[in-house]
Amino acid sequence: MTILSELQQLPTEVKDIIFSNDLVEKNQALADKFLLNQSQINLILDLENLLFLKKLSPLDLPTRLESMERASYYDLRAITLDIAQNILWPLQDYLQNVDRLILRLGGKVPRAQHLKSVTLQKRLFPSSASGTVKQFLSSFDDFKELRLTAKKITDNNGRLITPSVDNWLKDYNHFLGAGYHNSLQRAQYLAKGPNCVPLELGEKESLRNFLLSYDDDLGMQWENNEGMLKVQLPVSAPKSDKPVKVDLDKAVAELQQNIKKIEQIALPADFILSEAGNDLFKVRDILWQAVGTEDKEKALSCLKVLVEKKSLDSLIAEDNRFRSILKRFIGIRYGSGFNNWLEGNSDKLLARRLFLEMILADKLRWPEAEAATIAFYLTNLWPQSGQVVYLDATDGNLKWRIMQVMKDNQLAWRD
């Protein structure tokens, strides 16, 4: 987008001033007063455009004028003061800080001039809305200042600060580091973050939904009660009383097409084995690296090799790297009482199901339907393996087999 196009997007009352003959005459008077050549006035006009677009603060104008041709031969303070009083002052309501600039330069602030419209007021977040964190941060001026929780939180310097959207995001990124965070990391923050521990259940759930929207750009339902936000999962459309008929033949045909796509993106087994020097233990190393870099194709290819060589169960049973992240996944999913469930489990299919969901859906972030399809594909490579997913006849999609919590912190298949 050109500068002119950007200027055309400004509010009408601003455009009325910056495109007026009056402004042209004032710039010409400036050039005549200080005997500026065309190159010098062009620089000033460029700086004015940056100011009008708020890409430059009025307070930075003196420094930027130092780059003007033959700047040392001019009284830059006088030029800047003339610009501030005659060109920028009518836009004080819009630009802000023009009065501070005039005072810094030793000038007298002119009589206040106000823009004729109210469209320059802050875009305020409504009482209710649907959307994502990123949408609202760019659409509403006050969104980052709205509160997510009732009580103040502590920043990384130990100071009490407002529990605003902006401050919670800073706390979140300070605790976990900047960048994308998956569900396990979010759960870790909510469980162990110093500012999260004292939260009441309702506040923690609202914060959880807020962070989910922030990380995955998911739309949520938002309520704004006098500056306090409540964030809820989107309301599902009401279910019809009429049963939905799913064409299972069509669903199976689509599944077969999806499996063909998986086969196409999987690297040949020889490629992985060659890289591993035909050592299955080194395939585990390649898988670990692929998961860490979110290399989906290579990770899928490693899993395929391990399944075909019937080595996946031994990896789950022996490799402490994968066991460690699987234990954490299970503990967060089912509670701290299940942290050691893996140690006493004898059902290999249960472990496979949890392992594949963790790797495919959580670590590699395949969409749920694709992750379930890959799990179906992999387990079908293993005769008599048993299945970890099922075809839901109500919508024709593959889904993870449901597990239930039993007594004594045990997990079992749900019938």
Exposed/middle/buried for 210, CB within 10 Å: 0-12, 13-18, 19+?
A: buried
- Alpha-carbon distance of 64 to 47, in angstroms, equals 8
pTM above 0.95, yes or no: no
Q: Are 19 and 73 part of one and the same domain?
A: yes
Residue closest to 354 by CA, chosen among 330, 378, 319: 330
Please give the Cα distance from 261 to 370 (Å, whole number): 11
Q: Report yes or no: 339 and 327 within 8 Å, Cβ to Cβ.
A: yes
What local confidence, expressed as pLDDT, does residue 375 receive? Answer: 93
Q: Cα–Cα distance between 122 and 414 in angstroms, integer?
A: 53
pLDDT at 120: 44
- 263 and 364 co-located in one domain: yes
One domain for residues 132 and 190: yes
Cα–Cα distance for residue pair 96/88, rounded to 1 Å: 10
Per-residue pLDDT of the chain (415 residues; tens, 9 = 90+): 578 778 878 888 888 888 888 888 899 999 999 999 999 999 999 999 999 999 999 999 999 999 999 999 999 999 999 999 999 999 998 898 999 999 999 999 998 877 765 444 557 888 888 889 988 887 787 899 899 999 999 998 888 998 999 999 999 999 988 777 888 788 889 989 999 999 988 899 999 999 999 988 888 999 998 889 999 988 654 545 555 566 778 888 888 888 898 988 888 899 999 999 999 999 999 999 999 988 899 999 999 999 999 999 999 999 999 999 999 888 877 776 777 888 888 889 999 999 999 999 889 888 888 899 999 999 999 877 789 998 887 777 888 898 887 777 788 887 6
Half-sphere exposure of 189 (CA within 13 A, CB side): 23
* Residues contacting residue 398 through CB under 8 Å, at least 6 positions apart: 255, 369, 372, 373, 376, 389, 390, 391, 392
Distance CA 408, CA 400 (A): 24
Long-range contacts of residues 255-258, Cβ cutoff 8 Å, at least 24 apart: 255/373, 255/376, 255/391, 255/398, 258/370, 258/373
Angstrom distance (rounded) from CA 43 to CA 40: 5
Q: Half-sphere exposure of residue 207, counting CA atoms within 13 Å on the CB side? A: 29
Number of domains making up the chain: 3
Q: Among candidates 227, 195, 226, 198, which has minimal Cα distance to 211?
A: 195
Contact 89, 48 (CB under 8 A): no
Which of 232, 259, 293 delimits the end of a domain?
232
Cα–Cα dist 371/269, whole Å: 20
Q: Are residues 178 and 262 in the same domain?
A: no
Q: Is 69 left (phi over 0), alpha (psi -120 to 50) or beta?
A: beta
Residues 6+ apart with CB under 8 A from 362: 182, 183, 184, 329
Half-sphere exposure of 270 (CA within 13 A, CB side): 0
The answer to whether residues 150 and 175 belong to one domain is yes
Bridging pattern class, strands 228-232 and 220-225: antiparallel
Query: Residues 260, 209: one domain?
Result: no
| DSSP 8-class letter at 336 | G
Nearest to 38, CA basis, from 70, 12, 6: 70
Same domain, yes or no: 268 and 401: yes
* 307 and 387 together in one domain: yes
Task: Give pLDDT, residue 393.
Answer: 77
Residue 127 burial (C-beta neighbours within 10 Å; 0-12, 13-18, 19+): exposed
User: What is the structure's pLDDT at 331?
Assistant: 80
Beta strand 389-392 pairing with 220-225: unpaired
pLDDT for position 395 = 76
User: Could you list the residue range(s) of the whole structural domain that residue 94 is in?
Assistant: 3-104
260 & 401 share domain: yes
Q: Which residues contact 204 (CB under 8 A, 6 or more apart)?
A: 190, 196
CB 341 within 8 A of CB 330: yes
292 and 389 share one domain: yes
Name the helix (H) or strand (E) containing 354: helix 348-356
Residue 281 lies in a domain: yes
Q: Do 142 and 253 fall into the same domain? A: no
Q: What is the DSSP string of 208-241?
A: HHHHHHHHH---EEEEEETTEEEEEPPPPPPPPS
Q: Are both 14 and 87 inside the same structural domain?
A: yes
Of 57, 88, 104, which marks where a domain is finished?
104
Residue with tokens 């060589």, as numbered in its chain:
309
Residue that is last in its domain, among 197, 232, 267: 232
